[in-house]
Amino acid sequence: MSDYSYPQTDFTFGERDGLAPGNTEKTIKGADFDPEFELLATSVNSKLNIEDPAFTGIMDGGTIDGGTF
């Protein structure tokens, strides 16, 4: 399973808010979002579903619903 970590680039989208109107760096293009959405999709799709989860491999240590495995 992977975890999503933001930011994945040298900037955050919020940093652009402080730029002056008309600054070309203030414009966010769709291509800027693609890597973020791809990472989110990978992270979310690699997590177990809450309904009918399927485990593979060996589970080692921990607690599930109060029971130890």
8 closest CA partner among 35, 34, 31, 28: 35
Find the mean pLDDT for residues 10-16: 75
pLDDT at 25 over 70: yes
Q: Which two tokens stand for residue 54?
A: 């399927």
Percent of the chain past pLDDT 70, that is, above it, reads: 71
Q: Tell whether pTM > 0.95.
A: no
- For strand 67-68 and strand 63-64, is the pairing parallel, antiparallel, or unpaired? antiparallel
45 burial via Cβ count (<10 Å: 0-12, 13-18, 19+) = exposed
